[in-house]
Structure 1
């Protein structure tokens, strides 16, 4: 049986290989792009607080130390000498076995695919006598870090910070497969003389110095092209005034010289055919209409290559070509390995799992153990999963201390509440729990079991811990009514990032206090996208919306009046009043029940977050996996009290 007819084969395709061998290209972007993206936020039943890493002093490990990283050439790390207690929370242990179960439950499917990928590659390397040593991996990491001008430590830290890839995971799942596939593919790579010549032309060949004009309207492009053709010397001014490419417009249309074989073939063919001073026809490229003016046809740089260095440079070009072809060649090699592989997925098939206990998959007749998959899940996701289990343990302990419990009925009631609050209703107008569960689990890519365990259970637990503390007062109701149904201030706004610029704009607005002129100022000077793109118009301002300074100023103004300069953090804001809206609902009694329900839920959420923060801060936590410890505020207070008593 081949891989093509194997039972329930995993998806182990070309995309994974490209992802592994091209990881440097992807992660290189973090040097310039520093952003962590959070997952979608939901109002439904969910974990009320984000998982939090404990960042105090290093923890003292149990006697069994964690093993060192496995040799790169090994398929999987050995299962011996693993710490069996991974954390202690308020003197209660969390075992490695429990963590393995939870990590497997959340990440088993994706990790099994990665694990089998490496198995396939490792088998091929063993068959061909190829080894990738720790030294090879170290050298590759050093080379990559050097490309970005970083030390190895800083590079590895950046990977962890920006992509949540640990050094061990990077070595094992990125660098090792990359090097192994390179060596497997090396025999299939052919670099021709023509390819080397193309690389030489890219780096040392002729180029064209040009100016560019870019707009998104063909009619305007043709009009500007005609003006430029009639007066080529005007091209720089036309680019400055009309080009929608900000960078080139600022340089009066000048862009870096265009070389051959670098970008769009149509652009290259067009500009290399132009004579100095000549204007190109309009080209449509990447949803933009482009016009070029040739400033100079620049000769090749071959004569600048030092004598005796040409052969060395050609060899460098051949290496560049070989490297650029490596990813595709590696993917081809992997496709061949996959085509000949026999892969049987046991983990995702309950019937097969019952027949083959302890087996995650069978690859070419050899079993891949469930224990190995569990350990791989811990290697990749153990710290984040353990942090969630620590949070759960803290909540369980507090429920037990207060003699409270979370029942199946409590969980179902919370799911029904979430469905109702988000409008998942049956035709009879009743909460549609099934429709909600289908929506939320598909959206978040989790099972119903995981959704209930990770989102619903913590929500219910915290509600039980704080529910009696939450009271909605008459003052809350009055403020809620004004905020939701009261009059609102309609204004135009200009947001600026400096006091000096704000003073200049305010003076201009005061000299011509009309709605139209204020809108023009907003379009020209505001740094906030909504007001800038809508001539100063912003959503109406309500009372008790969380911006008291802005609210007070907005509601003081009469129609046509301009505010003073309002400081909001590092920004300066100027408002132009358009008047107040009329309330749609005048009687608070018409919406009292709805307001009470909404306000209670909001105050409950805040109380839940505060309670969890308190419990977490008070807890004594030794996290042996992350090598951190936290004494807990309660323990620290007790120690201080004892010390004070001892001094007496």
Structure 2
């Protein structure tokens, strides 16, 4: 190829190269913008604004205050406990490193046969514990307590021998009968003593331990040093086939029958060192847990802890302080930050929803009044049966019941439950009407006749066609019931030979109701396709109406229908507010940027 040819070829490709370069530059620019935008959102979560709802910001301070109201007490208790452990570690010169924490997490994950990331993800999904929370609030305190009590934990030869015998020593295979009443236990025991061969039957008929009763009283082999020494001594005192005396264990009366002796097992010499080490580790862990619990109780008793958060008088004299532990202060800001770390996403979701409702009320020129709040509390009390003898709501008893269910104050109950309900009602109540047609349909549904039918529910059309033809060719209730027992995939109709609860009108199953109320007694329906099921009905007749005159129940009916329509409208309104809102949640974005913690926070 000549120099001229090469030059011509390069010239021909130059536009393509230029476009490629431009594309690469564009991709890099887009990536930089995306990364920069993400970083801006992450930075926003660390700054004063955690979310913006329709251009209205929610500050980190507001989120902290809301989280503190709801979780401050629990979080402070945890912080106090960790501070007690940390103070004792500092006093003794003990340090738990991040590498030790990470190593313990790896060890625990391996014990469950999981990779570390998978284990941490499982904790977050199943128990709502973040990796950072797991490291700092569970693993670090546990390791610190272990280090603090390490000098108290030694495994003696006697402890090792007992543990070895409980795992590999001689055992007795037994049957057991457990009965809660002593008189009955003695009566059944007398029958077993008179005829030991009847023990299996007696266990099945009388034992109140369902697991062993189902297999004739058989229980796992009993070894020495496994649990209750009386049970073990009783088992080892029996010859094969013997029945023991009745003994009391807790609030139960039990007696045993020995089946056979099982000789001790002998691990191979190659496996013995590893087994010995496992046994020692298990004993050491158990003793360490007991010693750590004892030490922690001791630290709590000896500590001088002054809790200020939640005490109005103490808060005045100690502004900004949540607690004082042995002279060391924990600030309210620290507790609020910890509350945000643990519960920030959930609390922020509530704050966003509350802001949406405030905005909607402002736009509709409506306000939630104290009278509205009181009326809603009274309505809730009546709906849950808290009514005085004069028919009025017993709001005092209702509030007492609500507040006894957990660490919720009256103010939080109103703010989180009552106020949002009232706000939504104010937003939709003007559009709620109960028409004459609504009343007529509601009356028919609540008080009108029901269609009594037999039903077969099938999962595919071919089987439905086959069953329908069989039912048509043999038109009797008995044969239809046999078809239901054989073919129906719906448990109620299958187990009751087709009998199902009576069908009411306007109950929400239009196609089934239309067919049921168009039949006469003894008639067979067509095949009704609904969702992924195919239903065949056989009419047995109709019930008598509960009430004939709608005027008797009109007020009650109108109230119930209005309530139902109101609840539906409230749900739809809230969904609409969320769907049409412009919401930037910086906090959630920042939290999702880095989920897995590999070390605890600096101490």
TM-score (norm 1): 0.70
Question: Which residue pairs with 1:229 in the alignment?
Answer: 196
Q: What is the correspondence of 1:83-482 to structure 2 with a 5 Å cutoff?
A: 83-210=47-174, 218=184, 225=192, 229-230=196-197, 235=200, 256-263=220-227, 265-278=229-242, 294-302=258-266, 304-306=267-269, 310=272, 312-426=274-388, 428-482=390-444
1:8-52 deviation digits (Å, cap 9, x = unpaired)? xxxxxxxxxxxxxxxxxxxxxxxxxxxxxxxxxxxxxxxxxxxxx
Conserved in 1, the CA contact under 8 Å of 2:234 and 2:244? Answer: yes
1:443-486 deviation digits (Å, cap 9, x = unpaired)? 35421211121112211221122222322232322232233223
CA distance in 2, matches of 1:468, 1:475: 19
Conserved in 1, the CA contact under 8 Å of 2:42 and 2:590? Answer: no
Q: Following TM superposition, by how much is the alpha carbon of 1:388 offset from its aligned partner in structure 2, in angstroms?
A: 0.5
Structure 2 runs not aligned, ≥5 long: 1-34, 592-603
CA distance in 2, matches of 1:280, 1:230: 14
CA distance in 2, matches of 1:58, 1:298: 71
Question: Which residue pairs with 2:30 in the alignment?
Answer: none
Larger Rg: 2
Q: Following TM superposition, by how much is the alpha carbon of 1:600 offset from its aligned partner in structure 2, in angstroms?
A: 0.8
CA distance in 1, matches of 2:438, 2:262: 73
Q: Following TM superposition, by how much is the alpha carbon of 1:571 offset from its aligned partner in structure 2, in angstroms?
A: 9.0
1:299-336 deviation digits (Å, cap 9, x = unpaired)? 1113x3315x5455333312211111222211110111
CA distance 1:269–1:551, shift in 2 (3 Å): farther
CA distance in 2, matches of 1:174, 1:58: 35
CA distance 1:328–1:434, shift in 2 (3 Å): same
1:367-416 deviation digits (Å, cap 9, x = unpaired)? 21111111111112111101100111122222233333323333233223
Conserved in 1, the CA contact under 8 Å of 2:51 and 2:583? Answer: yes
Match of 2:46 among 57, 82, 90: 82
CA distance in 1, matches of 2:173, 2:210: 19
Does 2:587 correspond to 1:620?
no
1:554-598 deviation digits (Å, cap 9, x = unpaired)? 878999999999999899999999975543322111111111111
CA distance 1:500–1:141, shift in 2 (3 Å): farther
CA distance in 2, matches of 1:483, 1:260: 66
Of residues 277-286 and 137-146 in structure 1, the stretch that sits farther from structure 2 once superposed is 277-286
CA distance in 1, matches of 2:459, 2:255: 35
CA distance in 2, matches of 1:497, 1:597: 40
CA distance in 1, matches of 2:442, 2:515: 20
Conserved in 2, the CA contact under 8 Å of 1:59 and 1:627? Answer: no
Conserved in 2, the CA contact under 8 Å of 1:225 and 1:282? Answer: no
Question: Which residue pairs with 1:32 in the alignment?
Answer: none
Conserved in 2, the CA contact under 8 Å of 1:215 and 1:221? Answer: no
CA distance 1:229–1:182, shift in 2 (3 Å): same
Q: Following TM superposition, by how much is the alpha carbon of 1:123 offset from its aligned partner in structure 2, in angstroms?
A: 0.2
Q: Please, what is the CA RMSD of the aligned residues?
A: 4.8
Conserved in 2, the CA contact under 8 Å of 1:62 and 1:83? Answer: no
Question: Which residue pairs with 1:62 in the alignment?
Answer: 40
CA distance in 2, matches of 1:247, 1:498: 39
CA distance in 1, matches of 2:162, 2:527: 60
CA distance 1:277–1:430, shift in 2 (3 Å): closer
1:115-146 deviation digits (Å, cap 9, x = unpaired)? 10111010001111111111111111111111
CA distance 1:256–1:64, shift in 2 (3 Å): closer
